[in-house]
Chains A and B, each alone.
Chain A
Amino acid sequence: MGPVNVESNGRPDGCALVTGGSRGIGAAIVKALAAEGWPVGVNFRSDSESAHAVVKEITDAGGRAIAVQADIGDPEAADTIFKALEEEFGPVLVLINNAGVRADGLSPQIDDDDWAKVIDTNLSAAFRLTRRALRPMIRNRYGRVINIASIVGAERANPGQANYAASKAGLVAMTKTVAAEVARRGVTVNAVAPGLIETDMTENIGDGLLQHVPARRAGTPDEVAACVRFLASGEAAYVTGVCLTVDGGLTA
């Protein structure tokens, strides 16, 4: 796979991959990238119906997308997903590590499985996907890796989420390091850290938090996706190694 053709908009031919793209923030990101003209791979683990609904919405609007089932916790998943997309759309030039899980509990009650599952999905799988993505990005002199982190982690303590916080803080540290490694190849690596966003995943955890949010409301998946869309664009070429917080002022 050598350097590819550069389209008139200044970016090479290729596609985007969003892990956990069937619902919530992931689905909003898929739609935002498709609207920018990227063919998108919508990775999902279990919710096939939602993933295919997202794909249909994009193709009905004249965009290109395919659903790719894989549990990113499986070490083989990265290669499976990338091969499927390379065959269909060409190299993955935009990778959004969005898939994440929670297994909350106060630390004395988090067992090894709940610790390992969260670290593996949120951090280790993101690393494996990033590693697989970098080679074609480096060869093409264009790449955007965007890791969906959280304000829970380096920014803020949220009791009951020691495993989640550790995974997300690790993700931000990985983001910065990889960004510095590959910057001179036109590949940027950034993180987006959402605060309280209305999704299935944040159901039941927001009520106490809302009063601390200066914006006095929860954010929407589209507001997170807008940040991702910018970081994925050609215009963001000089932005790398940052973590962009989207939290209505919560950590300000």
Chain B
Amino acid sequence: MAATATREEIEQRVFQALEEFGAEPDQIGPDAEFESMDVDSLDLVELAQIVEDEYGVQLKGEDMEGITTVRQAVDLVMSKLG
């Protein structure tokens, strides 16, 4: 599963998760900042969990440091997928 995930798929999955966390759908986009969507640290922990479950990518606390936008998060997952 991990090998076939495309950038678009991961981005869509992140969008879906953000909506689940309560972000306003019209605010969600690749360059949206987590903070401006009221996505907090616990949400990011859950996002890391979703990515781990569905793409087999482990994201540690230190990996997530400095990640403030959806695009950065997707870049991180893509780099971990290799």
| Interface residues of A, Cβ cutoff 8 Å to B | 1, 135, 138-139, 181-182, 184-185
B42 x A139 contact (CB < 8 A): no
Is B49 at the interface (CB under 8 A from chain A)?
A: yes
A184 x B42 contact (CB < 8 A): yes
13 contacting pairs across A/B (C-beta < 8 A): A1-B53, A135-B49, A138-B42, A138-B45, A138-B46, A138-B49, A139-B46, A139-B49, A139-B50, A181-B42, A184-B42, A185-B42, A185-B46
Chain B residues touching A, majority SS:
helix
- Give min CB distance, B49 to chain A, whole Å: 5
10 tightest A-B CB contacts, nearest first:
A135-B49, A138-B46, A1-B53, A139-B49, A181-B42, A139-B46, A182-B42, A185-B42, A138-B49, A184-B42
| Interface residues of B, Cβ cutoff 8 Å to A | 42, 45-46, 49-50, 53
B contact residues around A185 at 8 Å (CB): 42, 46
- Give min CB distance, A40 to chain B, whole Å: 25
**Bound CA–CA A135/B45 (angstroms):** 9
**Bound CA–CA A188/B41 (angstroms):** 18
**Bound CA–CA A182/B49 (angstroms):** 14
- Give min CB distance, A63 to chain B, whole Å: 30
Known contacts A181-B42, A185-B42, then 4 further A-B pairs from the complex at CB < 8 Å, ordered by chain A residue? A1-B53, A138-B42, A182-B42, A185-B46
**Bound CA–CA A81/B9 (angstroms):** 33
Q: Which residue of chain A has the shortest Cβ distance to B50 in the bound complex?
A: A139
Q: Which residue of chain B has the shortest Cβ distance to A138 in the bound complex?
A: B46
B contact residues around A1 at 8 Å (CB): 53
B contact residues around A184 at 8 Å (CB): 42
**Bound CA–CA A185/B41 (angstroms):** 13
A contact residues around B45 at 8 Å (CB): 138
- Give min CB distance, A138 to chain B, whole Å: 5
**Bound CA–CA A184/B39 (angstroms):** 13
A contact residues around B46 at 8 Å (CB): 138-139, 185
Q: Which residue of chain B has the shortest Cβ distance to A3 in the bound complex?
A: B20
**Bound CA–CA A138/B43 (angstroms):** 10
- Give min CB distance, A178 to chain B, whole Å: 11
**Bound CA–CA A181/B46 (angstroms):** 12
B contact residues around A135 at 8 Å (CB): 49
- Give min CB distance, B50 to chain A, whole Å: 8
A contact residues around B50 at 8 Å (CB): 139
**Bound CA–CA A88/B54 (angstroms):** 21
